[in-house]
């Protein structure tokens, strides 16, 4: 008699099943990542579109009044001295005096000295350098209309060798 031998069932191999599950999880993660990236990308696109629309809707004001100086008026327009000359004197070098002169002109024009000029402007040292190197000067500026106006200045050297210039405003 012949006996058919049935092979014994061995332990099941779950390797293929685990591989399919790992691939499915990986694909799901990729889909979620792509969806999140798409969502945030779309939000950035919408924000950029809003900025473009805001810029396109921005109106440049064209109704700014321009009041030219009347040629018959006794009022003069302020003028900067652009000759490149600077007043002589004081303790600073020419470059620092140039910066100080530009500052004095600006403050002078704002305080009624309409046409500050180098000619006739004098510099007097009112305080010699102290321990920190700071000193004070008074610039008596020719306003160009026969009047003079005094401006106190403070010169403060910094650690880099640059000298800061401050025009003190008078009440």
- For residue 74, pLDDT over 60 is answered with no
Q: What integer pLDDT is reported at residue 10 of this predicted model?
A: 57
Query: Which sequence spans correspond to the domains of the chain?
Result: 14-59, 94-167
pTM for the whole structure: 0.55
Length of the chain: 171
CB 101 within 8 A of CB 118: yes
CB atoms under 10 Å from CB of 57, counted, come to 7
Q: How far apart are CA 66 and CA 38, in angstroms?
A: 52
Report the run of H or E that residue 109 belongs to, with start and end.
helix 94-110
Q: What integer pLDDT is reported at residue 9 of this predicted model?
A: 62
Rounding to the nearest 10 degrees, give the CA dihedral for residues 28, 29, 34, 36.
110
Give tens-digit pLDDT for 5-46. 666 665 667 888 888 899 999 998 899 999 999 999 899 899
Q: How far apart are CA 97 and CA 81, in angstroms?
A: 14
């Amino acid at each position: 008699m012949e006996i058919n031998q049935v092979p014994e069932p061995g332990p099941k191999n779950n390797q293929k099943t685990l591989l399919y599950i790992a691939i499915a999880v990986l694909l799901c993660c990729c889909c979620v990542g792509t969806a999140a990236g798409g969502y945030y990308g779309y939000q950035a696109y919408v924000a950029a579109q809003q900025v473009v629309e805001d810029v396109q809707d921005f109106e440049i004001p064209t109704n700014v009044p321009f009041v030219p100086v009347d040629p018959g008026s006794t009022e003069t327009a302020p003028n900067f001295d652009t000759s490149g000359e600077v007043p002589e004197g004081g303790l600073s070098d020419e470059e620092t005096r140039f910066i100080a002169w530009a500052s004095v002109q600006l403050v002078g024009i704002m305080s009624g000295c309409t046409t500050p000029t180098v000619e006739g402007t004098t510099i007097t040292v009112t305080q010699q350098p102290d321990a920190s190197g700071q000193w004070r000067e008074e610039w008596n500026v020719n306003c160009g209309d026969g009047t003079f106006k005094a401006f106190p200045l403070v010169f403060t050297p910094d650690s880099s060798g640059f000298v800061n210039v401050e025009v003190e405003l008078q009440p």
